[in-house]
Structure 1
Amino acid sequence: MSSHTKLQPGERAFNLLLLLFSLGVLYEAYRISGAGFESINSPGAFPVGLSVLLIVSMLVIIAGQFRKEKPNTRGALDEARQFLHEHFPLPIVIFSALAIGYLFLLEPLGFVVATPIFLYVAMVYLRHGRFVSSAIIAAVSIAIIYALFKLLFQVYLP
């Protein structure tokens, strides 16, 4: 068999998660519709249609995976290790942790304090140092964002 017919590590589990996500979308779309449809243009009809399309697509993809060869791994743990190594390199994991930390700091510190801290720390990490230029870029970026939202759009920034 050629290499394009071989499953990638974690592919089956990822597609099963997408199927579960699609079922969750269907549930939420059904809740939007009010548990019933009066017409094709009732609230929730479009989301329900899209979620059904998602579910059918995922079922077709998962069914097609049974014709593929298993990945070159030695068990589920090895497959998980390969999947994590391939799809979650260290810079992505650290930046994601920084972004999650920013989300938690946004409420108590506010946008004007939390955002420059996040931008500065993220840029210092991603640019491997460069402390002064990262501080300047973060300060200019926040000044532009603040001016746009506060002065131009007249939106309150917490």
Structure 2
Amino acid sequence: MERGRARRPGERAFAVLAVVFALVASWQAYGISGFSGLSTAGVFPMLAAGVMTLAALSVLWSTLRMPEVEEGQGRTIGGFLREVFPARQQVMVLMVVVYMLVLPWIGFVLSSSLFLFAGIHYLWRKRIVITIGLTVVTMAVVYVVFRVVFQVVLPQGILLRGLF
């Protein structure tokens, strides 16, 4: 950990949530078989959850010792959102939501192709020909692996069901 670094927006809340999650995981791991023996099914989950709890407590302790961020440097909700959820992530989350809404209507192959093209084009910002080529190759591999090799039935979509 870097000395003298100010606590970033949301860092304390994340550390607290990590401790809560680790404690819940510990409870769940204990529920598998308790402390009934060293060779029971719950030993490894309890060990992993215990390590996770210790690590989360360590992160929380070091986070609480950090100085607060100075006034006007992200202490507002807007500063928190800019720091934790920047515009590029917001756009990608919006794309995922649109993808989820469109998938039942136009099917897996077309909606995934459009989502993949839009995501690559937005994040990578290369020429359109390269983006289209990468999208076509990727979707061909996905189609062959899932539809041909594993014989997974891919959703066709309500609008395209009668066409194919």
TM-score interval (norm. to shorter): 0.7 to 0.9
Partner-residue secondary structure (3-state), 1:102? helix
Partner amino acid for 2:49?
S
Q: Provide closer, same or farther for how the CA distance between residues 141 and 63 of structure 1 changes in structure 2, counting only shifts above 3 A.
A: closer
Answer whether contact 2:12 2:64 (CA < 8 A) is retained.
Answer: no
- Residue in structure 2 matched with residue 96 of structure 1 by the alignment: 93
Matched, 1:81 2:71: no
In the TM superposition, what is the alpha-carbon distance from 1:131 to its structure 2 partner? 4.8
Q: Alignment partner of 1:4: what SS?
A: coil
Q: Secondary structure at the match of 2:65?
A: coil
Q: Secondary structure at the match of 1:78?
A: coil
Out of 117, 120, 125, which is 1:123 matched to? 120
* Cα pair 1:112 1:157 within 8 Å, conserved: no
Q: Counterparts of 1:63-74 in structure 2 under 5 Å?
A: 63-73=61-71
Deviation of residue 107 (structure 1)? 5.9
For the 8 Å contact 2:34–2:42, the answer to whether it is kept is no
Q: Any idea what SS the aligned residue of 1:156 has?
A: coil
The residue aligned with 1:46 is 44
Between the aligned partners of 1:65 and 1:124, the Cα distance in structure 2 is 37
Taking the aligned partners of 2:62 and 2:34, their CA distance within structure 1 comes to: 33
1:155 equivalent to 2:151? Answer yes
Deviation, 1:138, is 1.7
Q: Give 3-state SS (helix, strand or coil) of 1:56's partner.
A: helix
- Root-mean-square deviation over aligned CA pairs: 3.1
Which segment is superposed worse, 134-143 or 47-56? 134-143
Over 4 Å off, 4+ runs: 103-110, 127-133
Q: Supply the distance in 1 between the matched residues of 2:132 and 2:94 (Cα, whole angstroms).
A: 20
Q: Give the whole-Å Cα distance in 2 for the aligned partners of 1:109 and 1:28.
A: 40
Q: How many equivalent residue pairs?
A: 153
Compared CA separation, residues 44 and 100, structure 1 to 2 (3 A): farther
| TM-score (norm: length of structure 1) | 0.72
Distance 1:20 1:97, change over 3 A: farther
Amino acid at match of 2:56: M
Relative distance call for 1:106 and 1:51 in structure 2 (3 A) is: farther
Q: Name the aligned partner's letter for residue 112 of structure 1.
A: V
* Residue 141 of structure 2, aligned match among 144, 147, 153: 144
Residues 7 and 71 of structure 1 are in contact (CA less than 8 Å); yes or no, is this contact kept in structure 2?
yes
- The AA in structure 1 aligned to 2:122 is Y
